[in-house]
Amino acid sequence: MPVSSFKTPEKYKYQNGFSSYHESEAVEGALPIGANSPQKAPYGLYNEKLSGTAFTAPRHENLQTWLYRILPAAAHAPFESKEANTYKTNPGDLKLHQIPNQLRWDPFDLDEKVDWIHGLHLVAGAGDPTMKQGIGIFNYAAGKSMDSKEAFYSADGDFLIVPQHGSLDIRTELGYLLVRPNEICVIPRGIRYNVSLPEGPVRGYILELYQGHFALPELGPIGSNCLANARDFQAPVASFDEDHGGSGNYTLISKFNGHLFAAAQNHTPFDVVAWHGTYYPYKYDLGRFNTVGSISYDHPDPSIFTVLTAQSDHAGTAIADFVIFPPRWLVAEDTFRPPWYHRNTMSEFMGLIHGDYDAKTGGGFRPAGASLHNVMSAHGPDSGTHLKASTAELKPMKVGEGSMAFMFESCLMVGVTEWGLKQCQKVQPDYNAESWEPLKVHFKRPETLQNKDKNGTGEQRPDLGKWVGES
């Protein structure tokens, strides 16, 4: 059934559609008709434009939204730098270790002492947010809701949030999103939001995209449907507060080049009465993903499991792909069904939301854990999985039941922070030794194959009946 079951029931209304032009008003008549910026907006509201791309970006990729709010977003005191010793979000200050070793992490800890902002830990990344190039990969773990009079935004990039434990009740300027494990959400660059925790402690993963925005992958010969269907993405409806008497004490927190800055304002930041446009937060239920795969032979490339992509300037090469491995049927004949052993020009950071990943055995890859196989670092099924897959009866079988693994894939070489490599104390030192060093040699030279020819220069190929190199 193409829908997930959730512990926390849905409580919000949404608008459906990916990259659709949406409009929403919490008060009827708040959206102006026939103009975006009338001399006097309805009900005395302020007109404000939120630009996610350059004004002159091509129409098919242009992302802009008009907001109609009680006070403009600019109405706050100057930003001041926040304390730097309680957060770990800055790629410039945190040294990145680019290493070829295969890495795997035990489950990251829950942390009930901190809120969303102080629960962010940069694990790995590449590039530079000041140049709008690259990505950041975060673990988040929090046990407290943000103060209701705080709002947070990242000027560095779009947050793709993947909950693993606990639900996120996210209030954005444009409305509410309830995001639960097996759902994802994207909060675009600059959009302000507050995170509360309706079920207590939370934990999960974030891919921050410094350049461009996420899009649905092209389907090519697949056709017009399958993978993540546009209709299943959900955007919020307008919702607002009225607290503008000057007596409020609100704090706006900005992540700017990884550093945190705070500004005071005496009115609520959540005062958007209406909005329309193409730049907005959204969520998606991974249980609705419509998988495709081989029904004859060979394991296909993991690109067929791409939910969202952010392409580089080179078509078909992604700065970031978000890929999932959901429950699915395998029916291929005379085929080694798990992923083949490979070395990849792309970097692969994997996480597990729940269940067991079908390409690993032994329990080393667990929910809330992760792995990183960097550019050209060889990897593939561990020895136990290889043995099992090589001897299995090849009948139709369902894999991944009760499981959801995912991958952040990038064409960039990903560096690991000091926190991710050492301070978190979660890196498994024996990952390689447990996974691939136990692989055994199964090669058997055919008896008909001679070691050397009579001149000692070549080897005989019994399928051709002549010497290699002989014309």
Structure token digits, residue 417: 């922070």
CATH class of the domain whose range is 14-101+109-286 = mainly beta
Rounded Cα gap, residues 376 and 337, in angstroms = 22
Catalytic residues: 299
CATH class of the domain whose range is 289-435 = mainly beta
Which helix (H) or strand (E) segment holds residue 121: the answer is strand 120-128
The residues near 189 (Cβ < 8 Å, ≥ 6 apart) are: 52, 153, 154, 155, 156, 157, 158
- Minimal CA–CA distance to 408: which of 281, 284, 301, 309? 309
The SS3 assignment for 461 reads strand
Question: Is 379 part of any known ligand binding site?
Answer: yes
Rounded Cα gap, residues 433 and 439, in angstroms = 10
Give the per-residue pLDDT at 459: 52
C-alpha gyration radius of the chain: 25
Residue pLDDT, tens place only, 127-168: 999 999 999 999 999 999 999 999 999 999 999 999 999 999
Give the per-residue pLDDT at 465: 45
The residues near 339 (Cβ < 8 Å, ≥ 6 apart) are: 299, 302, 359, 380, 381
- Minimal CA–CA distance to 418: which of 69, 78, 124, 28? 124
**From-to residues of CATH 2.60.120.10 in the chain:** 14-101+109-286, 289-435
Strand partners, 461: 466
Give the per-residue pLDDT at 90: 62
Question: Is 348 part of any known ligand binding site?
Answer: yes
Kindly write down the DSSP assignment for every residue of 298-365, as one continuous string. SPPPGGGGEEEEEE-SSTT-EEEEEEEE-SEEE--SS---SPPPB--SSEEEEEEEES--TT--TT-S
Please list the pLDDT of the chain residue by residue as tens digits (471 residues).
Answer: 567 889 899 999 999 999 999 999 999 999 999 999 999 999 999 999 999 999 999 999 999 999 999 999 999 999 999 876 667 676 555 689 999 999 999 999 999 999 999 999 999 999 999 999 999 999 999 999 999 999 999 999 999 999 999 999 999 999 999 999 999 999 999 999 999 999 999 999 999 999 999 999 999 999 999 999 999 999 999 999 999 988 779 999 999 999 999 999 999 999 999 999 999 999 999 999 999 999 999 988 889 999 999 999 998 999 999 999 999 999 999 998 888 899 999 999 999 999 998 877 778 999 999 999 999 999 998 888 898 888 989 999 998 899 999 999 999 999 999 999 999 999 999 999 998 999 999 999 888 765 555 555 555 555 544 434 443
The residues near 362 (Cβ < 8 Å, ≥ 6 apart) are: 382, 384, 434
Give the per-residue pLDDT at 340: 87
Residue pLDDT, tens place only, 414-469: 999 999 999 999 999 999 999 899 999 999 988 876 555 555 555 555 554 443 44
